[in-house]
Amino acid sequence: MLKILIVIAPLFLIIFGAAAVQRFKKTDEHWSEVLNGFALHVGLPALIFAALSRADFSFAEEKGLIAANSLFLIGGFVVAFILGKILRLKPSALRTFFICLVFAN
């Protein structure tokens, strides 16, 4: 748990720093947006990449999980396609339905 906190601490320091600076009216809202945007669009992807690059991963050990996830995704696409055709959704609504059903978050 401590490793996770140490990894994400810089990101939250940037966000809280921007909030504190704005709270004391030392800058306008633009700087807060810039710092929060940096934390979200640069800092978070960099932290995710750094964490994944250090992770131990073996296809041989994870083949069951990979197969189950692949089957779930393919099944989700099939279900979304069939339901979309039954409900006669427009192509744009069908694409949105695909994304929402398969990638729930």
What is the mean predicted confidence (pLDDT) over 7-31?
73
Single-letter amino acid code for the residue at 9: A
- What pLDDT score was predicted for residue 67? 93
pLDDT of 104 above 70: no
What would the mean pLDDT of 44-49 be, rounded to a whole number?
A: 81
What are the CA-CA distances from residue 22 to residues 10, 17, 18, 88 (Å)? 18, 9, 6, 49
Residues 80, 97 contacting (CB under 8 angstroms): yes
Cα–Cα dist 18/27, whole Å: 9
| Widest CA span in the chain | 57
51-83 confidence digits (pLDDT tens): 777 777 788 888 999 899 889 888 888 888 898
Residue 4 has pLDDT above 90, yes or no: no
Q: What percentage of residues in the chain have a pLDDT greater than 70?
A: 90
Residue 34: pLDDT band by 50, 70, 90 thresholds?
confident
Rounded Cα distance, 57 and 85, in Å:
39
Whether pTM exceeds 0.75: no
Residue ranges per structural domain of the chain:
2-54, 59-102
